[in-house]
C-alpha cells in the first residue's frame, strides 16, 4: 500500500496537470443552434470555413467536433439549451432576455455572447385594406416564427402598445400563428384565408415583396425608433466557465467570421445560399446582405428597449439595469445599448 506521502504527491501532480494543461476537462464537442433567416451569416461562415475548429486547434484543442442545428423560434432554441441538447443558442433579443431572466442567479445563468446583426424585419400583407396594424380584423391571421416569444411577436406587441395603449399591448396576440418563415412566405404568396400577413425575416420578407400584390405594413425600425439588433448569440455561464478555452476559440471564430462577412458580403451571400440550399439568385441575396439598413456587427444595439418594454408589461420577470447585465464581459468594452 502506498504511503500517505506518495498519495499526496500523486494528487498534487494531477492538480498541477489541470492547472497547466489548457485542454484539461474541456468538452470535445460544441453544439450550436440557429434559426431560419439571413441573420446568422457569421455562423454560416464559421461552419463553412471551420473557424471554431481552427481557433480551438490553435489554443490546444485539436479534435473539437462542431455540430449545427436549425430551429424555428426562440422557444425551441431555449428548450434545447435548457435540456442540455445544445451549448450555444441564437435568435432575436427577446429570446435571450427571457432565458436570462429565467436563469438569473443560477449556475446555468444564460447571457449573450454578442450581437450578430442589426437590420429591420417587415410585416407584409397582400390585403390592400390593411395599411396599418389598426386595420387588422378579428378574422385576420398574422404569421410569426413563434407566438408571444419571437422577436417579431414582441415587436408586434410594442407596436400595439403604441397604437392602443400599454394596457392593450397583447391586443393582436390572438391573431398570431406560429409558422416557419419559408412556410409563411408560401402561404402569403399563395393567397387565401390561411394568413393575412407575415411578420418575417430576410430574405423571405423581400421574396414576398417581389409579388406586386404584397406590401409592407410595418418596419421594425419604425417601432424601435431606429436601427436595432436583430440577431444575437448566447450561452449558459456553466458552459463558459467549464470550457474557457473552447469558449475563447468560439469568440475568436465569431470575430473572424464578422470580419470575413464585412470584407466580402457578396461571397458571404453565396455561402448562405449554399448552406441553406436556397434557390434565390446571388444578386438578390447580395443586395439584402449589403442593404443600407443592414449591419453585421457584434455590438448590441437598442437591446434595452426590448428589456424595458418586456419588464414593463410583466413578460420579463427581471429588469436589467444595463445591457451589460445580460451579456458576458467579453463584449462590455463595446459601445453597446
What CA–CA distance (Å, rounded) separates 82 from 110?
A: 9
> To the nearest whole number, what is the mean pLDDT of the chain?
91
* Site of grid cell 446568422: 40
- Residue 41 confidence (pLDDT) above 90: yes
Give the pLDDT confidence score for residue 143 in this predicted structure.
97
CATH topology match: 6-119+228-331 vs 122-224: yes
Give the pLDDT confidence score for residue 276 in this predicted structure.
87
CB 33 within 8 A of CB 77: yes
Give the pLDDT confidence score for residue 75 in this predicted structure.
83
User: 12: pLDDT confidence band, cut at 50, 70 and 90?
Assistant: very low
What is the torsional sign of CA 108, 112, 116, 121? positive
CATH superfamily of 122-224: Periplasmic binding protein-like II (3.40.190.10)
Q: For the chain, what are the domain ranges?
A: 6-119+228-331, 122-224
What CA–CA distance (Å, rounded) separates 336 from 114?
A: 10
Give the pLDDT confidence score for residue 17 in this predicted structure.
39
The three cell numbers of residue 308 are 424595458
Closest CA to 203 of 43, 71, 32, 40: 40
Q: What percent of the chain has pLDDT over 90?
A: 85
What is the torsional sign of CA 119, 42, 33, 36? positive
Give the pLDDT confidence score for residue 73 in this predicted structure.
76
Q: Give per-residue pLDDT as tens, 86-123.
A: 999 999 999 999 999 999 999 889 999 999 999 999 99
User: 74: pLDDT confidence band, cut at 50, 70 and 90?
Assistant: confident
- Residue 269 confidence (pLDDT) above 50: yes
- Residue 22 confidence (pLDDT) above 90: no
User: 23: pLDDT confidence band, cut at 50, 70 and 90?
Assistant: very low
With vertex at residue 244, the alpha carbon angle to CA 331 and CA 334, rounded to the nearest 5 degrees, is 5
The string of DSSP letters for 7-70 reads HHHHHHHHHHHHHH-TTTT--SEEEEEEESSSTTHHHHHHHHHTHHHHHHHHTT-TT-EEEEEE
What CA–CA distance (Å, rounded) separates 145 from 21?
A: 44
Q: Rg (Cα) of the chain, in Å, rounded?
A: 22
Give the pLDDT confidence score for residue 318 in this predicted structure.
94
CB 184 within 8 A of CB 126: no
Look at the domain 6-119+228-331 and name its fold. D-Maltodextrin-Binding Protein; domain 2 (3.40.190)
Closest CA to 115 of 137, 138, 143, 96: 96
Distance of CA 242 to the CA centre of its chain: 23
Average pLDDT for residues 279-291, to the nearest whole number?
A: 95
Q: Give per-residue pLDDT as tens, 294-335.
A: 999 999 999 999 999 999 999 999 999 999 999 999 999 999
Q: Give per-residue pLDDT as tens, 178-191.
A: 999 999 999 999 99
Q: Give per-residue pLDDT as tens, 199-210.
A: 999 999 999 999
Longest dimension (CA), the chain: 88
Q: What is the pTM of this model?
A: 0.89
Three-state DSSP class for residue 274: helix
Average pLDDT for residues 251-265, to the nearest whole number?
A: 98
Instruction: Round to the nearest angstrom and report the end-to-end CA distance of the chain.
Output: 62
- Residue 31 confidence (pLDDT) above 80: yes
User: 226: pLDDT confidence band, cut at 50, 70 and 90?
Assistant: very high
CB 113 within 8 A of CB 254: yes
Amino acid at each position: 500500500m502506498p504511503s500517505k506521502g506518495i498519495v499526496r504527491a500523486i494528487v498534487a501532480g494531477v492538480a498541477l496537470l489541470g492547472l497547466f494543461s489548457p485542454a484539461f476537462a474541456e468538452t470535445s464537442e460544441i453544439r450550436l443552434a440557429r434559426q431560419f433567416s439571413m441573420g446568422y451569416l457569421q455562423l454560416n461562415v464559421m461552419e463553412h470555413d471551420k473557424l471554431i475548429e481552427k481557433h480551438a486547434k490553435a489554443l490546444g484543442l485539436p479534435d473539437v467536433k462542431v455540430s449545427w442545428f436549425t430551429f424555428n423560434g426562440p422557444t425551441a432554441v431555449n428548450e434545447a439549451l435548457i435540456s442540455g441538447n445544445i451549448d450555444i443558442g441564437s435568435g432575436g433579443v427577446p429570446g435571450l432576455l427571457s432565458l436570462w431572466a429565467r436563469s438569473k442567479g443560477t449556475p446555468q445563468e444564460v447571457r449573450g455572447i454578442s450581437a450578430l446583426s442589426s437590420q429591420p424585419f417587415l410585416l407584409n400583407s397582400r390585403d390592400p385594406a390593411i395599411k396599418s396594424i389598426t386595420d387588422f380584423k378579428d378574422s385576420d391571421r398574422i404569421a410569426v416564427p413563434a407566438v408571444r416569444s419571437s422577436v417579431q411577436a414582441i415587436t408586434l406587441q410594442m407596436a400595439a402598445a403604441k397604437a392602443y395603449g400599454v394596457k392593450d399591448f397583447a391586443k393582436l396576440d390572438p391573431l398570431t400563428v406560429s409558422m416557419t418563415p419559408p412556410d409563411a412566405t408560401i402561404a402569403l404568396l399563395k393567397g387565401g384565408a390561411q394568413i393575412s400577413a407575415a411578420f418575417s425575416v430576410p430574405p423571405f420578407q423581400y421574396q414576398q415583396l417581389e409579388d406586386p400584390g404584397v406590401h409592407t405594413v410595418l418596419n421594425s425600425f419604425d417601432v424601435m425608433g431606429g436601427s436595432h439588433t436583430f440577431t444575437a448569440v448566447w450561452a449558459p455561464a456553466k458552459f463558459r466557465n467549464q470550457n474557457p478555452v473552447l469558449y475563447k476559440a468560439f469568440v475568436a471564430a465569431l470575430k473572424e467570421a464578422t470580419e470575413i462577412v464585412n470584407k466580402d458580403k457578396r461571397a458571404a451571400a453565396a455561402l448562405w445560399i449554399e448552406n441553406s440550399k436556397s434557390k434565390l439568385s446571388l444578386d438578390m441575396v447580395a443586395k439584402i446582405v449589403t442593404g443600407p439598413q443592414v449591419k453585421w456587427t457584434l455590438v448590441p444595439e437598442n437591446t434595452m428597449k426590448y428589456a424595458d418594454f418586456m419588464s414593463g408589461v410583466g413578460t420579463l420577470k427581471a429588469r436589467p439595469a444595463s445591457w451589460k447585465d445580460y451579456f458576458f464581459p467579453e463584449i462590455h468594452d463595446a459601445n453597446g445599448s
